[in-house]
Each structure stands twice: as structure tokens, then as C-alpha cells.
Amino acid sequence: MNNKLPLEGIRVIDMGIVWALPWTGAMLGEMGAEVIRLESLQYAPRIVRHGGLPRPAKEFLPFLGTLGKGYPDLDPGEKPWNRYAMFNALYRSRLSMTADITRSKGLEIFYKLVAVSDVFIENNAPGVMERMGITWDKIHEVNPKMVYVRSSGYGFSGPYRDYSGFGMTLESVSGHSALRWYDNENMFHQSHSFLADASAGAAALFAVFLGLRRCRKTGEGTMVEIGLSENFISHLAYYAMDYAMNGRLHSAIGNRDLWAIQGCYMCKGIRPKPSAVKTTGEDHWIAITINNNEEWEGLCRAMGDPAWTKDEKFADQLNRMKNHDELDKLIEAWTSQHDKYEVMRLLQAEGVPAGAVLNSEDVLNDPHLKERGWAVELKHPEAGTHKYAGPVWKMTKTPGHVFPAPCLGQHNEYVYKRILGISDEEYNKLVEEQHIGDSLIGV
């Protein structure tokens, strides 16, 4: 039986930043591609490797919010750029080499790697690659079979081409934020969801496959570009079409649905196991959706058929929608007496779509996810042993392989000497010139 991973033999150069394309690189690596992250000792993206604080003082970390909590045991260690949670979560399953491509020698190294690779992925702002001397024309000249997948906030043409974009700004321009807030709150209180980044990462993965397929058929590489905003708009096509066809604008719906009874309802504050985190009932919720009369009857049975369910106000879906606010209060009066997992089991047994709202602790301890092996335990040489998200797919013959994110420059010798054929003498010279190393310079 052949247990080779499906992408073995494919080499990828990764210069992705933050979330979107780094997510693509992780998935490619877990399917067997050799993903080589090209980094710089001088210009490591701050939010990627170390959260914006290259050498934060340990005593100040508790006061730095999410940034400070991104290190194991609230300790940045000697090399914080190898311990930061965001990097270790999103940049797993790949290798790391270093070169300063802002200098001619570094750029030469980049193109040497291009010559022996299959795919190049990056999601820097328009113009960044070009200013460093990296262009599609040059890539195609060096390696006519190269597949180049690039992404930016608004794409690489049009009047917004050079606009900056990040998180909530892209979700807002995509129309997502206008639908996601609650009608009893100010938009100011809305947080971003990162969905635009994650969806662009998945789209870029598909683009890589398209490029490789085209190369297999024609013998030629291609460049594919993705605008995060327009990619994400496609996920909201119904709302755009409703306006195009009916002139109808949709506003915030919170947890509601357009035609189903739906909401998040508070539950009793009990955890399935002892927790080090003190919680209250306000931290426990259940999401419930009632699409039709059959599911409504299932909800009624689960609740014990209380008398109010026979009221004419709730006799059919239309009346239930008209009286949604009152119905929410009545449903929550029941859910608040029960644990969220108990409510989920009761409703699912009656054929009602319902799911406990899980936080990070719940997810890592969820019995269903445990049985399916969703989380994998990885031992990182500097960040320690922790649980990570496993491969997205479950293939019967070729299960994915997840391995820890690389330390900075961890695979320099392998890439330079074995892949690029650099001599020991030239390697040592590149170390002296500060192309090769394992520590950020000037921090």
C-alpha cells in the first residue's frame, strides 16, 4: 500500500504574512508539500514572528492583553520570535530559511530557489514584491513552470489597489460587518472574526491546485491573484443578489436568521470537568435553529411540552417569526436551567439543530473532537509541548502529517547545501554577511 502524502514532490516557497496565505502554506505542508518559508534576519514581520514586541520584558506581559498572552507561561524566553503563539499555530508544517532579499545577493538566492521549486505564495501589499525585485516576468523567465499565487486586501488592480487592509477593515468593505452586529448595540462594539483571512487562505489553496493542474496539462506555469475583499463578498452573494433583484438592503440580524427561528440562549454555568478558569452562567450558551414545524415540535418535546407552546402566537413558523422576541425569552427560561451540553443532546435527540457554544478550553476537551483526533500534540524545541489543530482532511490512505512551526533559520543548512548546492565556504560567507542565522538582528 502506498502511503505517500498526496503532495510529496511539490516544493513551495512561502513568503506569506499574518493569516491568509500562511494558512495555505500550513495545509500544503500537511499534505506532503515541502514548504520553505523564506525569512529575513533584518525584516521579520513583527506581527508574525513576535507580535510586535521583539524582546518584551517578562514582567510586562500580563499587561499587554492578547499580545502579552501569546507566549507559553507568559515567558518570551531568549528568542521570543520562536515562541509566539500566532506563529506556532499558523506557520506549522513547513521549513525556515533566511536571506535578506532587499540585497542583491539575497535576491539571487531567492531566484535560485525559484528555479528548483513549483509554487510561490505570498500576500504582501501590492508593490512590496516589485520593490524588492521580485516580479512575475522574472519568476516566469527563471522557471516557466512556476505557479505564483498572490493575495492582497483589494487585489492588484482597480482604484483600491494600493489601499491598506487588515481584519475588520476588509470584513467591513466586504459587507460582512453590516450584517454581523446586533441591532441593540453600536457598531463600535463589534470585533473582527478573521473569516476573510481564513476564506482567502482556502481559496489560495484551491488556486495552487488549479495552477499545478494547468502546468500538468500545458507545461506552463501561471500567476493567480486573489483579493481578500472580493473573495469574501462571494460568501455573502445572497444579500447582494437580493438587492440586485429586489432593491432590498439587509441590516444587522445578530443571531437571527431571515426565515428560521434562531438564537443563542444562556445556559446553566456548569463545566463538564473542573476548570482552572472561574466562570458564571453568562459564559455558557446554546445555539438553536428551528426551520420548520417538525423541528418546533421537537423543541416542544425536549422542553416537556409546556403550556405556552400551545399558544396561537406560536402555531406556525410565520407567527413564531412575528413573536420572535417573546419566544426567545421563553426558550431561554428553559435553557438557563440546564447545562449547554445537556440541551444540545436533548434537542439533537429530537432532530433539532442545536450546538453548545464552545470556548477554547471546551474545544480542546470536547469528547467528539477528541475521538476524531482533531487536535494533535506537538513538541516544539523552544515553545514546548502543546495541542494544535490537526489536518483539515481525513484521507483513508494518506493521512496528513502535522509538524511544529520552524524556529527562525532552522533549516538553513538543508536548504542552502542540499537543495541549492551551496558550498561550505559560501555558506559561511553568507553567515558573515548576515543572510544566514537564527536570531533577529538589531532587536
CATH number at residue 378: 3.40.50.10540
Number of other residues whose CB lies within 10 A of the CB of residue 201: 26
- b vs e for 159-189, b when ≥16 Cβ sit within 10 Å of the residue's Cβ? ebeebebeebbbbbbbbbbbebbeeeeeeee
Q: Is residue 439 part of a domain?
A: no
Same domain, 334 and 271: yes
What does the pLDDT read at residue 68? 64
> End of a domain among 302, 331, 357?
357
Q: Is residue 245 part of a domain?
A: no
Same domain, 348 and 386: no
Judge contact between 108 and 184, C-beta under 8 A.
no
Same domain, 341 and 413: no
Same domain, 374 and 351: no
What does the pLDDT read at residue 282? 63
Q: Collect the ranges in the chain with pLDDT lower than 50.
A: 1-2, 272, 274-280
Same domain, 315 and 392: no
Domain hosting 352: range is: 261-357
C-alpha grid cell for residue 204? 489560495
Same domain, 95 and 167: yes
> End of a domain among 327, 357, 387?
357
Same domain, 29 and 171: yes
**DSSP H helices in 306-441:** 317-322, 324-335, 340-349, 360-365, 367-372, 412-413, 424-432
Judge contact between 122 and 20, C-beta under 8 A.
no
Q: Is residue 365 part of a domain?
A: no
What's the structural domain count of the chain? Answer: 2
The whole model's pTM is what? 0.91
Q: Is residue 6 part of a domain?
A: no
Q: Is residue 400 part of a domain?
A: yes
Q: Is residue 246 part of a domain?
A: no
Name, in order, each residue with C-beta under 8 angstroms of 63's C-beta and a sequence gap of 6 or more: none
Q: Is residue 118 part of a domain?
A: yes
What does the pLDDT read at residue 73? 87
Q: Is residue 379 part of a domain?
A: yes
